[in-house]
Amino acid sequence: MTTRSLLLSPATDAENESHAGYVALLGRPNVGKSTLLNQLIGQKISITAPKPQTTRHVILGIQTLPEAQIIYVDTPGLHRQGRRAMNRYLNRAAASVLGYVDVVVFLIEALRWTEEDEDVLQRLVEFTGPVVLAVNKIDWITDKRRLLPFLQEIAEKRAFVEVVPLAAINGDNVDALEQVIAGLLPVQDFLFPEDQITTVSERFFAAELIREKLTRLLREELPYALTVEIEQFVEEGRLVRIHAVIWVERASQKGIVIGEKGAVLREVGRQAREDLERLFGRKVFLETWVKVREGWSDDERALRSLGYGDPGIS
């Protein structure tokens, strides 16, 4: 069994005086961090869904410009609610990046400041590097006159090096954010090959894309009680065989995931397979099973066995 990774050896032949560094995308849940990452990289490498806490892992997206290499670090949303082991893991994963990144992009939603936004701001008190405030979802604002007073008010909360309003969903003003970040990175050689866009493996992508389809298709609460484990990932020439297990916490949830006469599971498999074939450029044979593992999301040992280990660079 083999898994082809998108990670190559770090580059050492970057030109002199080039800039490179790690940039954390930090914010509360559902503020658009993963959408912004995908827009910056120009390819989908982080799953998205209109539900909080869709992102569960620290994911790197690498953007190489002529003068700079920006390694974006997508993080789970920092949040207050929930005391389960999964909630603790998500907060640890998000906060852990502050120990090694060079720049932080603090992402908030236009015309909205919440207690969770304030919590994120407080976590940045001890971060000594530059912090850029990115104000997302400006495309939602019908009366644009309301935006400037909001930006002025938020800008007083910290000495941000720059405040950048943008719309991650359509790329509006994302290039301005990119240029601000590039100018803040330390002078050093590029850290990865210029054609590399991420460090995660195809196996990881497969699990995440299946979970994305489940999150989008299932009712409000169930996505938080499931996870996906890839048991087999086998390459046979132009064909990839993937066997995936969808873990739920209760027997009653198993029937919901499968759906009447297997309809939900078939649709999840169809959508995931089509996305994976586009991503890999090969045919994909995907089999999925649904199994019960009671209380997995509140069990530290179970979390580690399912891939939620110590937070760090993925």
Where does a domain end: 182, 213, 241?
182
Residues 66 and 162 in one domain: yes
Residues 292 and 260 in one domain: yes
Residue 104 domain-assigned (yes or no) = yes
Element (H, E) at 181: helix 174-182
Residue spans of alpha helices (H) in 183-250: 202-217
Structure confidence at residue 81 as a pLDDT band (50, 70, 90):
low
Residues 161 and 225 in one domain: no
Q: What is the mean pLDDT of residues 49-74?
A: 89
Element (H, E) at 68: strand 68-74
Q: Over 90: is that where the pLDDT of 225 sits?
A: no
Residue 210 domain-assigned (yes or no) = yes
Residues 162 and 215 in one domain: no
Residue 4 domain-assigned (yes or no) = no
Structure confidence at residue 9 as a pLDDT band (50, 70, 90):
very low
Give the model's pLDDT for residue 94: 80
Q: What is the mean pLDDT of residues 2-7?
A: 39
Residue 12 domain-assigned (yes or no) = no
Distance CA 209, CA 228 (A): 9
Q: Who wins on pLDDT, 283 or 90?
A: 283
For the chain, give the mean pLDDT.
89
Give the phi and the psi of residue 152 in degrees, each rounded to 5. Answer: -65, -40
Q: Who wins on pLDDT, 96 or 165?
A: 165
Cβ partners under 8 Å of residue 153, min gap 6: none
| Structural domain span for residue 178 | 19-182
Residues 170 and 269 in one domain: no
Structure confidence at residue 309 as a pLDDT band (50, 70, 90):
low
Residues 165 and 225 in one domain: no
Helices (H) and strands (E) in the chain, counts: 9, 9
Structure confidence at residue 78 as a pLDDT band (50, 70, 90):
confident
Give the model's pLDDT for residue 221: 62
Residues 206 and 171 in one domain: no
Give the model's pLDDT for residue 97: 92
Residue 312 domain-assigned (yes or no) = no
Residues 131 and 257 in one domain: no
Across 15-19, 86-90, 202-206, least confident range: 15-19
Residue 188 domain-assigned (yes or no) = no
Give the model's pLDDT for residue 12: 45
Q: What is the mean pLDDT of residues 274-295?
A: 95
Structure confidence at residue 13 as a pLDDT band (50, 70, 90):
very low
Q: Over 60: is that where the pLDDT of 194 sits?
A: yes
pLDDT in tens, 85-117: 888 887 888 888 999 999 999 999 999 999 999
Residues 141 and 237 in one domain: no
Give the model's pLDDT for residue 203: 95
How many CB atoms lie under 10 A from the CB of residue 202? 19
Q: Which domain CATH number covers 256?
A: 3.30.300.20
Domain tally, the chain? 2
Q: Which domain CATH number covers 92?
A: 3.40.50.300
Give the model's pLDDT for residue 154: 96
Residues 166 and 31 in one domain: yes
Across 45-49, 107-111, 127-131, least confident range: 45-49
